[in-house]
Amino acid sequence: MAKRTSTGALTKEQHAAQDERYAQGHEYDYVIIGSGHSALVAGSLLANAGNTICMLEYHDVPGGYAHTFRAGDFHFCAQIHYTWSCGKGAVMWEFLKKIGLEKELSWNLYDPAGYDHMVMPDGKRVKIPYGWDKLAQNIDAAYPGQKKHVEQFTGILARLREEMRAFPTGKIAWWQFPLYALQLRGMLKYRAKTLQDVFDECGLSKEAQAVLIANSGDMGEPPGRLSIFSYVGLFGGYNTGAYYPTKHFKGYIEGLVNCITEKPGCHIYYETEATKVNVEGDRVSSVETKDGKIFTAKKGFICNMDPQLAAKKLIGWDKFPAREQKKLDYEYSMTGLMIYLGLDNSIDLREYGFGKFNIWHLEDWDMNKMWRQQKDLNFEKPWFFMSTPSLHSNEPGTVPAEGGQILEIASFMGYQPFKDAYDTSYVEYMKLKQKMANRLLDIIEQKYVPDLRKHIVVKQIGSPTTNEDFCMAPMGNAYGSTMTPKQMGLGRLKAPTPWPNFWWCNASSGYAGIAGTLHTGTQLYMDITGDTFIDPKNLASDDELIAALPTSPIPRFSR
């Protein structure tokens, strides 16, 4: 049976070792609540700079949504499949170089011919390549007459990405506003626009729109609600290179953890739930945990926990000024179902159309309609995602020694039906999970891999309530606060809090995904230390990153 809770894996001896360490009275420069990706990024940078770090993790493993769990002899990353910003001169490269791990923690590029394959309702498969010009060609080849409309659309994306690159990261003087207003005219024009608004402006057909938002799960919102800025950041980021870690996400997260714990005086406490943040005067004085420990910090406290939840549960909502309450009162992003399959060594998914790319399956042209229907578990014409991590790297560590492959399937689903079933009984909850998973597996066997079920060695299903427990994600949200125009503007929550020694460091106080939380963690480190090792203006441009990519297909990995 699948593990039902996020704790309980540590042995008595491991708990005793943590208790013994605590009893030694270590003094820390920074205490970090949580060990999600943004926290590990900030923590590794701070530890690398000579600070002593303590991380308090509710779960029994680190990484948040990027954590890896074991089922049988297979290892699955909980939620992350690919990312961007990993080319030389991009943020990931600069971050890993800063902590001395740019060679150890390398990244594999997805297929240049198409890092995402969009399978349309009419059966056509449209590949998403690197470079806007190639994208327009691919869409026009599938749906003639759309080239000029796609070029108009990607021209807007390119312009906004350039302006985002020039956007000031620090405070600006009043007299600078007119200058920036001229430089950022596109951002001002589109600040309240949704992706659907821009689709309509460019006159894109329903087919072209579907290709461009088939990866709706990456965005966490349908086009009618998604901020164009969020789309520009993510879709534009992948346009410069989509990557998977050579050592899998398991190796990447372990590398960051080791970067912290191998430094003198730096520790991570697992199955250690923070229950209270104590405030004295204008500063945070300590953090208390469920098992009675009290942690203090000489320089400051960083909260990787969801800010809205932490404000209510750990600190007290009334301690925040009205202005801060408004920023914290955000709507949560979507949630969904994940199916993790470990397959035997008698099947090779590459023979069924899989490879160094992801597949997005659509059965309805209207993604706004899909979103409404699947929220209520109407799966008559479902949308879903398929990824094959074991085909993205030849490094061991995710499949059994005798061989095998991994297929992961994800789809958008509403939170409340799963919550209601869970509250009714665990049996009803499991029935609902199996029902929805079987609906997707039926389609995959019908259209992609006949007799797939015969090859399944391990099957695990994660639901919205799984997310809520294992990652303390309210309502099972996938990306923190939802990325609508209202929540993507200047009023979006940032790292500072009412207390000068307490900072947020989470997808909701920055941006979601590996690249988003990477930016959140690096920016926090630079803000609190003054060590500005990344200047957006000095990073490789989109054109430079794309020019450095190979144009021919990458040799596929052996079985």
149-206 per-position pLDDT tens digit: 999 999 999 999 998 887 766 665 545 555 556 677 888 899 999 999 999 999 999 9
**How many other C-beta atoms lie within 10 A of the C-beta of residue 250?**
23
Within 13 Å of residue 438, how many CA atoms lie on the same side as its CB? 6
Asked whether residue 132 is domain-assigned, the answer is: yes
Within 13 Å of residue 96, how many CA atoms lie on the same side as its CB? 21
Of 557, 541, 517, 555, nearest to 241 by C-alpha is: 541
Q: Which of 183-192, 343-352, 481-490 has the highest mean pLDDT?
A: 343-352
Number of domains into which the chain is organized: 3
- 210 in the Ramachandran plot: left (φ > 0), alpha (ψ -120 to 50) or beta? alpha
Asked whether residue 526 is domain-assigned, the answer is: yes
Same domain, 531 and 413: no
Same domain, 515 and 476: no
Same domain, 57 and 189: no
What pLDDT score does 454 carry? Answer: 98
Of 338, 389, 383, 380, nearest to 360 by C-alpha is: 383
Residues 509 and 251: beta-carbon distance below 8 Å: no
Same domain, 163 and 153: yes
Range of the domain at 416: 331-482
What pLDDT score does 165 carry? Answer: 82
Asked whether residue 10 is domain-assigned, the answer is: no
Asked whether residue 411 is domain-assigned, the answer is: yes
Q: Is the pLDDT of residue 559 over 50?
A: no
Of 316, 304, 309, 310, nearest to 57 by C-alpha is: 304
Of 287, 419, 408, 399, nearest to 358 by C-alpha is: 408
Same domain, 35 and 71: yes
How many whole angstroms from its chain centre is CA 399? 23
Asked whether residue 12 is domain-assigned, the answer is: no
Q: Which of these three, 209, 240, 271, is where a domain ends? A: 240
Same domain, 335 and 473: yes
What pLDDT score does 174 carry? Answer: 47
Average pLDDT, the chain: 94
What pLDDT score does 2 carry? Answer: 55
Asked whether residue 530 is domain-assigned, the answer is: yes
Same domain, 341 and 301: no
Residues 287 and 56: beta-carbon distance below 8 Å: yes
Alpha-carbon Rg for the chain, nearest whole angstrom, is 23
CA distances from 367 to 337, 374, 376, 485 (A): 17, 10, 15, 18
What pLDDT score does 554 carry? Answer: 60
Of 276, 292, 310, nearest to 18 by C-alpha is: 292
| CATH, residue 287 | 3.50.50.60
- β-bridge pairing 116-119 and 358-361: parallel
Q: Rounded mean pLDDT of 417-423?
A: 95
Q: Which of these three, 240, 269, 294, is where a domain ends? A: 240
What pLDDT score does 398 carry? Answer: 94
Distance CA 479, CA 512 (A): 5
Q: Rounded mean pLDDT of 518-528?
A: 97
Within 13 Å of residue 500, how many CA atoms lie on the same side as its CB? 4
What pLDDT score does 489 carry? Answer: 76
Distance CA 263, CA 244 (A): 27
pLDDT in tens, 499-510: 999 999 999 999
Question: CB under 8 Å to 526, separation ≥6 — which residues?
Answer: 532, 533, 534
What pLDDT score does 272 carry? Answer: 97
Asked whether residue 502 is domain-assigned, the answer is: yes
Helix extents (H) in 167-247: 177-183, 185-190, 195-201, 206-213, 216-219, 228-238
Q: Which of these three, 215, 240, 265, is where a domain ends? A: 240
Q: Is the pLDDT of residue 4 over 80?
A: no
Same domain, 453 and 380: yes
- The string of DSSP letters for 54-114 reads EEE-SSSSSBGGG-EEEETTEEEESS---B---STTSHHHHHHHHTT-TTTS-EEEPPTT-
Same domain, 320 and 344: no
Asked whether residue 279 is domain-assigned, the answer is: yes
Same domain, 324 and 337: no
What pLDDT score does 490 carry? Answer: 74
Same domain, 460 and 312: no
Same domain, 264 and 374: no
